[in-house]
Amino acid sequence: MEEAETMSEKESRELAKTAAPTSNALQKWLIRIGVVLLAFLLGFVPMWLSNRQLSGDLANRDKELRRAGIQNTLTAATIYARRGEYETARQNTSSFFTDVRAEIDKGNAGLLNEQERIGVSRVMAERDEVITLLSRNDPAAAERLSNMFVEYVGVVQSK
């Protein structure tokens, strides 16, 4: 029996000796993987934060650009009407109303907040009358467009 115990003790020791280097090698690899992962995260996190901030800035600039484009369309319509180019003014006015309607329909996801949507809806109420005046080449359309422009700018720039 002693011999059997001695054999098992010898086998146990040898297994422990062979298991120890395997365990050490595994620990070394885990440490290496951890260091590589940490290095990756140290590079990734700042870039991710920067990208996130820039994406937000880009979205804000895009909204400002769309807002300016809509206002410029109305400005162009007003100028064309003053110059007597009623068809071009009518097309620009129609485009303005289409763009504003699209922004109103977007709700909170659009350019306009609730207060601006209410104010712009007053401008939208003049749509048919102004387009009719422009279709008839009526000089009164220029004055109506000027008044509409002033009202629109007052609504959207009163932040």
| Cβ–Cβ under 8 Å, residues 141 and 130 | yes
Mapped onto helix, strand or coil, the DSSP state of residue 111 is: coil
| Cβ–Cβ under 8 Å, residues 104 and 110 | yes
86-110 pLDDT tens trace: 999 999 999 999 999 999 998 888 8
Which percentage of the chain shows pLDDT scores above 70? Answer: 85
Domain that holds residue 141: 2-156
Count: domains in the chain: 1
pTM above 0.75, yes or no: no
Average pLDDT over the chain reads 87
Higher pLDDT, 9 or 93: 93
CA distance 130 to 136: 10
Largest CA distance in the chain: 120
| Cβ–Cβ under 8 Å, residues 78 and 145 | yes
44-53 pLDDT tens trace: 888 889 999 9
